[in-house]
Amino acid sequence: MHELEEKLRTRRARVGIVGMGYVGLPLAVEFAKAGFSVTGIDNNQDKVNRVNAGDSYIGDIPSSTLRPLVESGKLRATCDFSALLELDTVNICVPTPLRKTKDPDMSFIVASCQEIATYLHPGMLVILESTTYPGTTYELVLPMLAKPGLEVGRDFYLCFSPERVDPGNPVYQTVNIPKVVGGCTAECTRMGELFYSQALEHVVPVSSTQVAEMVKLLENTFRMINIGLANEMAMMCANMGIDVWEVIDAAATKPFGFMPFYPGPGLGGHCIPIDPFYLSWKSKQSGIEARFIELAGQINGQMPHFAVDRVRDALNSAGKAVKGSRIHIMGVAYKRDIDDLRESPALDVILLLRRLGATITYTDPHVPVLHLDGLDLESSPEDAASAADCVVIVTNHSSFDYKALVERSRLIVDTRNALKGMHSEKIVRL
């Protein structure tokens, strides 16, 4: 039995997580709960200090869960990459944004791999979790980790395992979301599967890192394209005077051959607005044009503008212009019941309305302050909606009192169908 295998089975392996954000911290917590000694590594000193104080900054990880793990010595954080010398495994959970040109920004992965290469030692398991284009692990990461005398699959192990975190999901979290893993060799895959199976409920091994990389892109491209179709239907239905939400609900009664997706003011979060363009970029390198992806991206990118058009039309019908109107935004996080602002369509809606001359206020119990392009706002109580000329529901948080909102508001544009079942002349739906 390999020494690493024995350490994993007895949970004596020392686990490292590079990047302590929405992916890294929950993963670190699960392995610490499983009995492993876990070290989180992050360049952000504030995150490191908060982890070491047992103070969680991730909504899905209560401080009451984090603190006992820190106090027991099972979980700690540091900014010092030399900690890798003492670790047996390391998961790379760093951001992978897109550049303005829609091509992948690999700088965070490269910087992490440079540090790991410095401290790589025999028997180490390295797993990339950051979403990226197919081929990254084998073509970019492996050459960076290669050292004379160290052979992948024999002396160290390298895998890719796509993160599937869904912030705010009360049912599916890190521990029970099936974990796909593929290695550079069959032995790498075996080690990756063994590693995850010690802390997570279900592991799905695949034949290569490329397959594992493509899995995540397929998942999010599937959602992005189908949401694009729902958004295009919403625009068409609005022009025809048809309630798109009623159409979707009726279509969803078909027990086969249809899966409901819903329109909205735009795509948010780190994954769906971004990941498909990794696939599009890579396919272009192979001489294939990803037309579905590009078209869906264009349609989804129009939705904040379409939402603002609905606001403008609603105000016009009430005899008002956007310029000079007071517009109150309900919800600015990218999805309900979380505090995550990454790629939130609310930010685009706010900026577009502001450029048209509107005065903006907002309510979001999860986002107390908002700093956006020179605009500094604080979340107002829900009753602030009564002073607005128009209220726009952008994020449908479950804590909002929608019945009271309708009663106190003069005009409401509902981009999320949060007011389903309510009927009033003051309600305008997407």
d(CA 416, CA 430) in angstroms, rounded, equals: 7
Please compute, for residue 79, the number of CA atoms within 13 A of its CA located in the half-sphere on the CB side.
Answer: 8
Same fold, 3-207 and 221-429: yes
Domains of the chain, residue spans: 3-207, 221-429
Tens digit of each residue's pLDDT (9 = 90 or more) over 322-373? 999 999 999 999 999 999 898 899 999 999 999 999 999 999 999 999 999 8
Asked if 113 is an active-site residue, the reply is: no
State what percent of residues in the chain have pLDDT above 70.
97
Give me the numbers of helices (H) and strands (E) for the chain, helices first please: 14, 15
User: 242-297 pLDDT, tens per residue?
Assistant: 999 999 999 999 999 999 999 999 987 666 566 677 777 777 777 888 788 888 88
Question: Can you tell me the mean pLDDT for 222-243?
Answer: 94
Q: What is the pLDDT of residue 169?
A: 87
Question: What CATH number belongs to 3-207?
Answer: 3.40.50.720
- pTM of the predicted model, to two decimals? 0.90
> Bridge-partner residues for 7, per DSSP?
none
CA dihedral (240, 242, 247, 249) positive or negative: positive
Mean predicted confidence (pLDDT) in 419-427: 94
Comparing 21-30, 116-125, 142-151, the range with the smallest average pLDDT is: 142-151
Q: What are phi and psi of 182, to 5 degrees?
A: -135, 140
Q: Which residues contact 232 (CB under 8 A, 6 or more apart)?
A: 299
CA distances to 130, 190, 348 from 341, rounded to whole Å, are 19, 37, 11
Q: What is the pLDDT of residues 189-215, one digit of tens each?
A: 999 999 999 999 999 999 999 999 999
Rounded to 5 degrees, φ, ψ at 207 are -80, -15
List, for residues 19-69, the tens digit of each pLDDT value. Answer: 999 999 999 999 999 999 999 999 999 999 999 999 999 989 999 999 999
**pLDDT > 90 in the chain, percent:** 81
The SS3 assignment for 283 reads helix
Among the options 93, 113, 237, 271, which is catalytic? 271
Question: 221-429 maps to which CATH number?
Answer: 3.40.50.720
In 3-state terms the chain splits into helix, strand, coil percentages (rounded to 5) of: 40, 15, 45
